[in-house]
Amino acid sequence: MTWGVRDLTVDYGAARALDGVTVAAPAGEVTVVVGGDGAGKSTLLRVLAGIPVPHRGEVSRPDPRRIAFVPTGSGTIQDLTVAENLDFVARAYRLRHWRERADRLLERTDLASFRDRLGRELSGGMRQKLGVIMGMLPSPDLIVLDEPTTGVDPVSRSEVWRLLAAAAGEQAALLVASTYLDEAERASTVVVLHRGRVLLSGTPAQVSSSLAGSIVDVDRPSDPSLAWPRGARWREWRPGGDPGGVRPDLEDVVIAASLAVEEGPS
């Protein structure tokens, strides 16, 4: 089963948040949406999660009780313990026999020994892990996550992705918004949003090879407006092509594509 949106347009008053966006989230796969703030990621996620947002276009999503939404900031309740947070979700979704599943999920992470820790006493990484577990508890068909690993330490991040892999293994469809391109590299499908439009879409390999022109690795850029730093050196996009080009990775392609559309920080 594939969920998603087709030709989705969302206006907030005079501002167009999404413009004719089509994104598919197949079951059992991880789809990562990349984009800066103002790109429309959060809006897209909210529409798919079923949050009432006036929109035009088609939306295909499962029944609300089979959808989980993990917002930025994890959605955990600060004043409750880990165990109480899970209890709350279980009751809200009217789950039965959920404790065993909760235990198994907790054991995949270091949260297992912190069941009585209050939400606000958890580190950022632990809170995100709890948020993901809360989302996975009802075994939903679709899980929508808004930047689940932004600012999270690498160890916790890998634990979060293990959890997401387990969710995909249970045939849930996963739609994840992220600003980390190394995460996008590991997705089944990458969608790059920019100013409410889809800039690029496909598997990471497809997207990486979709660039017109070449990327070169230089000491000093000849055209600073088309160049950006990579460590101590520079990457530069030559739209007309260049025999000395390197194999572009996802970051190169996303930056070059953004440059092509417009210059200037978001």
Partner 1 sequence: MTALEARSLTRRFGRFTAVDAVDLRVDRGEIVGLLGANGAGKTTLMRMVLGLLEPTSGSVALFGSPPSRATRLRIGYLPQNLGLYRDLTVAENLRFAAGVYGVTPAEAPPGTAATLVGDLSLGMQRRVAFAVALQHSPDLLVLDEPTSGVAPLARARLWERIRAAAGDGAAVLVSTHAMDEARQTDRLVLMHLGRVVGTGTEHEVVGNASAVVVRARRWADTFAALEAAEIPASLSGDALRVAGADADGVAAVLADAGIDARVETVPATLEEAMVLAGSRS
Partner 2 sequence: MLAMILKEFRQVRRDKRTLAMMIMLPIMLLIVFGYAARFDIPEIRTAVLGPAADQAARALQEPFDVVEIDPSATAETAETLLRDGDAVVAIVTGEDPTVYVDGTELFTAQSALRRAGALPDDVAVEILFNPDLSTSAVMVPALIGLVLLAMGTVVTSLGVVRERQDGTLEQLAVMPLRPRDVIAGKIAPYFLVGLVDLAVITIVGLWLFDVPFRGSVLAFAAGVFLFLFAVLGIGVLISTLSRTQGEAIQLAIMTLLPQVLLSGMIFPLYSMPPGIRWIAYLLPLTYFTMIARGIFLKATPLDALAFPYLALVVLAVVVFGIAVLRFRRDLAPARSRPVEEVSM
Question: Is residue 38 close enough to count as binding partner 1 by CB under 8 A?
Answer: yes
Question: Is residue 35 close enough to count as binding partner 1 by CB under 8 A?
Answer: yes
Return the structure tokens found at 41: 């990621």
Q: Give 259: exposed, middle or buried? Use CB within 10 Å, 0-12, 13-18, 19+.
A: middle
Q: Which of partner 1, partner 2, none does residue 265 bind to, with CB < 5 to 8 Å depending on kind? A: partner 1
Shorter beta-carbon distance to partner 2: residue 77 or 166: 77
Question: Is residue 1 close enough to count as binding partner 2 by CB under 8 A?
Answer: no
Only segment of 87-95, 132-140, 211-219, 225-233 that touches partner 1 (CB under 8 A): 225-233
Residue with tokens 């598919």: 24
For the chain, how big is the Rg over CA atoms in Å? 20
Q: Which of partner 1, partner 2, none does residue 154 bind to, with CB < 5 to 8 Å depending on kind? A: partner 1
Q: Distance between CA 30 and CA 172 in Å, rounded?
A: 9
- Three-state secondary-structure class, residue 138: coil
Query: What is the biggest distance separating any 2 CA atoms in the chain, rounded to whole angstroms?
Result: 64
Residue with tokens 């101590």: 232
Q: Residues binding partner 1: what is the number (CB under 8 A)?
A: 52
Interface residues toward partner 1, by CB under 8 A: 28, 30, 34-39, 123-126, 147, 150-158, 161-162, 164-166, 168-169, 171, 179-182, 185-188, 203-204, 228-232, 251, 254-255, 258-259, 265-266
